[in-house]
Amino acid sequence: MTWIFLSLLAILAASGYAIGTISATAAATIPDTGSIDETDNEGTNNVATASTGYNSDGSLTGSAITSDTSTWPGAQAAYPNAAVWDICTAVALAEGYNQGSGVAPYNLNNPGDLSPGDEQGQAVAGPPENHDGSLIIDFATVEGGFIALYVKFFNIVSGNSKVYPKTLTWTQVANIYAGDSGDWLNNVTGYLGVQPSSTPAEYAGLA
């Protein structure tokens, strides 16, 4: 009986080892994708969509647009209003596009830090991303981002904007456009050399 009991123990031990080995092997062969698909209490997906990153195709200026202001676009046949391009430069500086990699306007090819609804027909690289509590468009190219910014302010100065009446002052525009409206206002009007009480339309000669 002792011999039989010992034999049974040996069989059970061997079976347990085999099962443990199989489990360990199976676990080792399951790929770790590194992705986590969770849903918060609001029912929204928590998985962040990574931006495709800075991309310039040279289609607007003939060469790459970078964080260097000397590479930024200006008046040309398709977008001829030089004053509006000055406004675009001022806004891009206020939004920090010139800081380069690491800031949302640069990484998302969005020099104006524009939100959904301001695509102006320009291609996007993916869904908008949340930065500092605001959704920001991820444009496919920085050229598209600059064109969208130009069209937005051209509509403002020409009275075609549904959000910004032509008579709004820079102070009023800043209050709608920017979360940090005080800094944004100082940066934009300082660059353009205008008073906060003046209007974008006046700067563009379209008041």
pLDDT computed for residue 132 by the predictor: 87
In this model, does residue 122 exceed pLDDT 90? yes
In this model, does residue 173 exceed pLDDT 90? yes
Could you give the CA distance from residue 30 to residue 145 in angstroms, rounded to a whole number? 42
More confident residue, 42 or 152: 152
Amino acid at position 168, single letter:
L
In this model, does residue 149 exceed pLDDT 80? yes
pLDDT computed for residue 20 by the predictor: 42
Could you give the CA distance from residue 182 to residue 112 in angstroms, rounded to a whole number? 16
In three-state secondary structure terms, 45 is strand
In this model, does residue 75 exceed pLDDT 60? yes
In this model, does residue 104 exceed pLDDT 60? yes
Q: What is the pLDDT of residues 150-170, one digit of tens each?
A: 999 999 999 999 999 999 999
As given in the structure block, the two tokens for residue 16 are 């347990």
Amino acid at position 128, single letter:
P
The answer as to whether 56 is a domain residue is no
More confident residue, 100 or 10: 100
Structural domain including 156 reads: 78-203
Which of 22-26, 38-42, 197-201 ranks highest by mean pLDDT? 197-201
Judge whether 140 and 124 are in contact, CB under 8 Å. Answer: yes
Q: What DSSP line would sit under 191-205, residue for residue?
A: HHT--TTS-HHHHTT
Could you give the CA distance from residue 66 to residue 96 in angstroms, rounded to a whole number? 12
Q: How many domains does the chain have?
A: 1
Nearest to 105 by CA among 150, 67, 68: 67
Could you give the CA distance from residue 147 to residue 138 in angstroms, rounded to a whole number? 14
Q: For all residues of the chain together, what is the average pLDDT?
A: 82
Q: How many CB atoms lie within 10 A of CB 175?
A: 14
Judge whether 109 and 95 are in contact, CB under 8 Å. Answer: no
Q: What is the pLDDT of residues 1-39, one digit of tens each?
A: 444 444 444 444 444 444 344 333 333 332 322 222 222
pLDDT computed for residue 180 by the predictor: 82
The answer as to whether 4 is a domain residue is no
As given in the structure block, the two tokens for residue 160 are 């075609």
Instruction: Check which CATH number belongs to the domain holding 94 and give it.
Output: 1.10.530
The answer as to whether 103 is a domain residue is yes
Q: What is the pLDDT of residues 123-138, one digit of tens each?
A: 999 999 999 889 999 9
The answer as to whether 134 is a domain residue is yes
The answer as to whether 52 is a domain residue is no
